Amino acid sequence: MKSDLLHLRAHVIKSIRDFFWERGFLEVETPLLIPANAPEEYIDPIFAFPGLQLQTSPEICMKRLLARGHSKIFQISHCWRSEERGLRHLSEFTMLEWYRSESDYTALMNDCRELLQRVAQLSCPHANFFTRNSVKISPTHPWQHISVQEAFLRFGQVDVLDCLENGLYEEILTSVIEPALTDCNAPVILMDYPTELAALARTKPGSPQLAERFELYVGGLELANGFSELNDPVEQRRRFEAANRMRRHIGKESLPLPEPFLEELSGMPPSAGIALGVDRLVMLTADVESIDEVVAFTPEEL
């Protein structure tokens, strides 16, 4: 029953909050209405008032807090993205984000491992595993770490850079790569994305064509997206402007740039940050396929 799932959702959120408080993270709240999100090619914000958008992610303000000296922060907040609807998508959804200064994306991978071990106890208290598509997935088993290039070559027999050039990346990812991850009995880290797919991430030392970005998959379900943060305001502005050029190329409007963020970015120390879908984590814990089952109301019920 949905009432049972709402109780489970509350326990998952409490477990998340306890996890970060126990580790010395500061819980923060940042504005939901902001003048500008980070411009991205395929993410469209919702304009609520003239000059104000609903946040697509709290990252802009949270990184400004890093620049102001806060070293370990987290937030559970609502986010909005225009025209997103499906089994795994809602236009309004709940996001967990956390950031660490003086860290890189490997520290986030460790956080994910410990967090999933904590939450899995809610799914199966005595065995500590999730179940998805009848597969038992244990976060205590060794996790598989695979580069994006390796995944495309292994599962799709194609080069990821060729897919990007030919506009086939999303199709191959969703129809070939993600289904290949459904039978894994442990979470999978898909890592080291081409820089074209990591607009706010730092490039890998010695491999400028790759970025220190990863996504976390559990039973083929994309759960989180994290990276070592870019803190070069000149390069970040260049990437934002490139995203707006691509938006215009595909018939979309340019988006305003988050100027205060760019002004403070040079003061942000080397850091890492990650976004995790809370609704999807509840779906995973409850072993349900539709996001509709884990929210109090769907848009169609309002």
The segments of the chain whose pLDDT lies below 70 read: 1, 124, 126
**How far from chain centre, in Å, is Cα 68?**
23
CA-only gyration radius of the chain, Å: 19
pLDDT digits (tens, 9 = 90+) for 106-145: 999 999 999 999 999 887 676 788 999 888 999 999 999 9
Contact present, 82 and 296 (Cβ < 8 Å): no
Domains of the chain: 2-301 (3.30.930.10)
What pLDDT is recorded for position 1? 62
What pLDDT is recorded for position 126? 65
